[in-house]
Amino acid sequence: MKTESISTKHPEAISRAVSVLNRGGIVAFPTDTVYGVAAAIFDTNAIEMLFEVKERDQSKAIAVLMSSLRDLAHVAVNPNQAALKLAEVFWPGPLTLVVPRHPDLPEILNPLPTVGVRVPDHPDALALMDVTGPLAVTSANLSGGENACTAQEVLAQLGGRIQLILDGGRTPGGQPSTVVDCTSTELRLMREGPIAWEDIQIVLREGRIFS
């Protein structure tokens, strides 16, 4: 398989990415943290391909990225008030919230009845998902490999394994998102990231963060 790379500034970039995704293919694109690699959210075969191209254990969950908080109702059920408050404050941004998974989502995303969801703060990612809706997305690297912060770094690890890379230059963050489990009243930090646990606790206590 030949991996095509196209600038996000190309007038046909979004339409090409949508075409690949609609055909069951895999597309890499920049986010506010690192490059992600995506499949159509209801295409079980394409999501299986995500695991294969990354050499990722299927016991590990695949997150869902969205263009807006409004999409949350399509991928989650009954998120608690703490999750909604964090989403309102930190989205778009590098915070993934683990919430109860919507029953319409394929179980292959996670062996547990939960899903990690996020709205990235990156214009190229948002432009793509404004058209496609939510996508199944994981980091665009081989499992255990270095995070990819440029299209060239994606190509070095996943070249020949995926159909298309949207080249939006170097990602501004370079670090995977903070992950918080919001499935119970006692929130749990699952992964340290750009958003500090202290700031999350301040929001939950005070409804705001300090600059």
Position 91, amino acid: W
Output the pTM of the full model: 0.95
Q: How many residues does the chain have?
A: 211
Q: Does residue 11 fall inside a structural domain?
A: yes
Q: Does residue 16 fall inside a structural domain?
A: yes
Q: Does residue 211 fall inside a structural domain?
A: no
Q: Which domain CATH number covers 96?
A: 3.90.870.10
User: Residues 5-55: pLDDT tens digits?
Assistant: 999 999 999 999 999 999 999 999 999 999 999 999 999 999 999 999 999
Stated as kind and residue range, the H or E segment containing 117 is: strand 114-118
Walk across the sheet containing 188-191 and list its strands: 4-7, 164-167, 27-29, 36-40, 135-139, 63-65, 114-118, 95-100, 178-181, 188-191
User: Residues 124-134: pLDDT tens digits?
Assistant: 999 999 999 99
> What does the pLDDT read at residue 206?
81
Domain count for the chain: 1
How large a percentage of the chain has pLDDT more than 90?
94
End-to-end CA distance of the chain: 48
Tokens 């807006």 — which residue? Answer: 68
Q: Name the pLDDT band for 211 (thresholds 50, 70, 90).
A: very low
User: Residues 64-115: pLDDT tens digits?
Assistant: 999 999 999 999 999 999 999 999 999 999 999 999 999 999 999 998 999 9
Q: Does residue 36 fall inside a structural domain?
A: yes
User: Residues 191-208: pLDDT tens digits?
Assistant: 999 999 999 999 998 866
